[in-house]
Amino acid sequence: MRSIGLAAATGFAAATIALAWSTAPARAEDVAAQFTVALFDQACVQNFGHLDRVGDWALNRDLAPIVNPLALQVYMGFRVSAHTHEHSVAGGGVLNLGQAWAVPGPSGHFVLSTRFDPESCIVWAQAADQTEVEAGFKALIGRASKPGVIVTLDQDKSIEVPNAKVHVQVYRFWIKPETSFALVLATVNRSGGPFQAMIQTQRVIAAADPIDPEIPLEPPKPVLMAPQ
């Protein structure tokens, strides 16, 4: 996979939208965008620093775990080596240090995933309006920018991919070790790929820690199974 170096019930979907926006827009892509940001806020932001709580959050809503290896390549950066018998995930971790769940929403397909190395919580939308997602992300940045928090724009760039363009934004929020974090957004200007919007929170331990989100830009490759 090329990367930048860098089932809950319908009621849950409706309640999530209602908490964040009082008026639902007509377009399905707009509804999906708003749901994406609201899901990220509830599952990731409100459980920041406690990935076990993200798992509990998913369990309490009966979200279906994702186990398909090709899907995990996208949502967790999952890799398997047939030569070394080593299993790893993005960031140098080991197998099972993270999870992914399918999240039913009001329009489209959504995924919630976690990674333990680096410690991250991510929400993915297969199709969601790019402008709406970026507006919601900007609102999250504003909420997180409080007195005493040093906020820096770490990355803001566009990457050309076949028939599309990916816009990546990375903000760093420095408070003190163990409570500092980064917020990452990647949006694609067209649907049809493995995702159109990805929002991620990542823990930052040291002020100079690199923020290097795993963002898939190509379809996942078949997983090589280790020989028996």
- Residues 105 and 27: their CA atoms lie apart, in Å, by 14
Phi first, then psi: give them for residue 131, nearest 5 degrees: -65, -40
For residue 159, pLDDT over 50 is answered with yes
Pairing of strands 180-188, 197-204: antiparallel
Is 136 a member of any domain? yes
In a domain, 62, yes or no: yes
Containing domain of residue 102, as a range? 3-216
Q: In angstroms, rounded to a whole number, what is the distance separating the alpha carbons of residues 175 and 98?
A: 25
Domain assignment of residue 227, yes or no:
no
CB within 8 Å of 111: residues ≥ 6 apart: 66, 71, 75, 100, 101, 102, 103, 123, 124
More confident of the two residues 68 and 42: 42
Give tens-digit pLDDT for 106-142: 878 999 999 887 889 999 999 999 999 999 999 999 9
- Average pLDDT on 12-32 reads 57
CA dihedral for 58, 60, 63, 69, sign (positive or negative): positive
Say yes or no to pLDDT of 39 above 80.
yes
160 lies in some domain: yes
Q: Which residue has 């990731």 as its token pair?
A: 44
The pTM score is 0.79
pLDDT at site 219: 60
Q: Tell me: the pLDDT tens digits for 179-211?
A: 789 999 999 998 887 789 999 999 888 777 777
pLDDT band, residue 36 (cuts 50/70/90): very high
Least confident segment among 77-81, 115-119, 158-162: 77-81
Would you say residue 223 lies in a domain?
A: no
pLDDT given at position 130: 94
Q: Give domain status of residue 185, yes or no.
A: yes
Task: Look at 111 and 216; give whichever has higher pLDDT.
Answer: 111
- What pLDDT sits at residue 18? 41
In a domain, 58, yes or no: yes
Domain count, the chain: 1
Residue 162 has pLDDT above 60, yes or no: yes
Question: Do the beta carbons of residue 183 and residue 212 sit within 8 Å?
Answer: no
Direct distance between the N- and C-terminal alpha carbons of the chain, in angstroms, rounded to an integer? 24
